[in-house]
Amino acid sequence: MTASRKVSSKGALWLSVLALAFGGSFKPSIASDKGNRIKFQIRMIEEISGQRKVLSEASVEGPLGTDFNIGLQSLHFKLDSRFRTDLNAAGGLTVRATLNTRRLYGYSERGLPLYEEDSQRIPLQLGFDESILMLPFGQDEGPDKLKIEITPALVDGNNLSPEMAQTPQINISKPAPDGLISIQAFKIPHRFEVEAILLEEGREVARGRSVFLLDDEQKDLPLRPNELASQAVAEEPLIVKLGMDNYAPVQPVGQVNIGFDVLRARALAQPEAVAVGWAGTGLPGRELNYDLGQIYQPRDGGNYHLRFKIRLADGE
């Protein structure tokens, strides 16, 4: 049996973007070329009394939009990190990092191990003249530091076969001591179109549609009433606050988890929570249905259901 406690990100893990030594602003014109691939150079670095030593070096290379996971495991510490990557309109990268850390804090009076735990989601805008810097033990660990540096680059993939051009690859040029670090790479869809439909007694009375990014922050999806909506629904329409994560490549189209809250818009006031912390697993092309039952009762009554339709967005 173990015990744990939650800590702030400041004490558990520190992540930032730093400019490379050559500086400048590089916006490659070849970023939209389908023949190009992206490469991430990953280094685990130990700094002791200002002396820098590369403990491990590896690279992840794959088609544009390749994601990767980095795991770090020691006797007293565990890091699980996930990086979703997309090219952005500025010619750089949008990175959505999910970081889960756990490290030994001490022992209880009964001799049970106590752990610090932290979970973060961090959005980053990253240029090709910048690196991501991770300090798994925090930035206040003293003069001795363990760092993970992640540096992106675009590489030419036109000489590869179509199959190889779409296949992520991992190259470990310098293995970590004692298998301390592990890396996974994969290419999955990132963009999904979600339609949310409000039904009263089986009739559609409101609808909203938007595109959502995997592992992005929750965003609002307003449900716009139609001519069949009651006056109460029309005056106080619902807003779905939704996010998506954990895509699994289940045949034939995969599945994705959604998490959402349902809010009721109020004139001249903050929206009122109708449902909080609801979730589900959706298969693109199929429906998810939720009975709002007793929690949503407009003034004119009625039996209401919320229906989601999820599909891959255009271009995925």
Q: Dihedral sign for Cα 200, 203, 207, 211, please.
A: positive
d(CA 113, CA 231): 58
Question: Do residues 183 and 83 make contact, with C-beta atoms less than 8 angstroms apart?
Answer: no
Same domain membership, residue 306 and residue 165:
no
Question: Do residues 307 and 197 make contact, with C-beta atoms less than 8 angstroms apart?
Answer: yes
Same domain membership, residue 157 and residue 8:
yes
d(CA 203, CA 205): 6
Same domain membership, residue 224 and residue 127:
no
Same domain membership, residue 28 and residue 11:
yes
Residue 33 has what pLDDT?
Answer: 52
3 state DSSP class of 285? coil
Same domain membership, residue 80 and residue 212:
no
Residue 19 has what pLDDT?
Answer: 62
Residues 215-244: tens digit of each pLDDT: 999 999 999 999 999 999 999 999 999 999
Which residue, of 154, 186, 218, is where some domain finishes? 186
Strand ranges inside 160-285, DSSP E: 169-174, 181-186, 191-200, 203-213, 219-222, 224-225, 238-248, 255-266, 269-282
Same domain membership, residue 166 and residue 232:
no
Which residue, of 150, 166, 186, is where some domain finishes? 186
d(CA 298, CA 280): 25
Residues 176-185: tens digit of each pLDDT: 888 788 999 9
Residue 30 has what pLDDT?
Answer: 43
Residue 145 has what pLDDT?
Answer: 77
Which residue, of 135, 167, 186, is where some domain finishes? 186
Question: Do residues 32 and 38 make contact, with C-beta atoms less than 8 angstroms apart?
Answer: no
Residue 143 has what pLDDT?
Answer: 59
Enclosing H/E stretch for 10: helix 9-12
Residue 34 has what pLDDT?
Answer: 59
How many domains is the chain built from? 2
d(CA 313, CA 245): 15
Is the link from the previous residue into 237 a cis peptide, with omega within 30 of 0? no
Question: Do residues 56 and 180 make contact, with C-beta atoms less than 8 angstroms apart?
Answer: yes
Same domain membership, residue 76 and residue 144:
yes
Angstrom CA distances, 188 to 62, 65, 152, 212, stand at 11, 8, 19, 14
Same domain membership, residue 29 and residue 155:
yes
d(CA 160, CA 31): 17
- Give the residue among 228, 247, 202 at the shortest CA–CA distance from 84: 247
Same domain membership, residue 209 and residue 170:
no
DSSP summary character for residue 9: H
Average pLDDT taken over every residue of the chain: 85
Residue 18 has what pLDDT?
Answer: 67
Same domain membership, residue 257 and residue 120:
no
Residue 167 has what pLDDT?
Answer: 92
Residues 93-143: tens digit of each pLDDT: 999 999 888 877 788 888 888 877 888 888 999 999 899 998 877 665 555
Question: Do residues 46 and 53 make contact, with C-beta atoms less than 8 angstroms apart?
Answer: yes
d(CA 137, CA 97): 17
pTM of full prediction above 0.85: no
Note down pLDDT in tens along the chain; length 316 residues.
Answer: 334 333 333 444 566 776 654 333 334 444 445 568 999 999 998 888 778 889 899 999 999 999 999 998 877 778 899 999 999 988 899 999 998 888 777 888 888 888 778 888 889 999 998 999 988 776 655 556 788 999 999 998 888 898 888 899 999 999 988 878 899 999 999 999 999 999 999 999 999 999 999 999 999 999 999 999 999 999 999 999 999 988 988 877 789 999 999 999 988 889 999 999 999 998 888 899 999 988 898 877 789 999 999 999 988 8
d(CA 153, CA 38): 6
d(CA 248, CA 238): 30
256: Cβ–Cβ under 8 A, 6 or more apart, which residues? 192, 214, 244, 245, 246, 247, 248, 281, 282, 284, 310
| Domain limits for position 129 | 3-186
Residue 28 has what pLDDT?
Answer: 42
Residue 9 has what pLDDT?
Answer: 37
Same domain membership, residue 99 and residue 198:
no
Same domain membership, residue 155 and residue 11:
yes
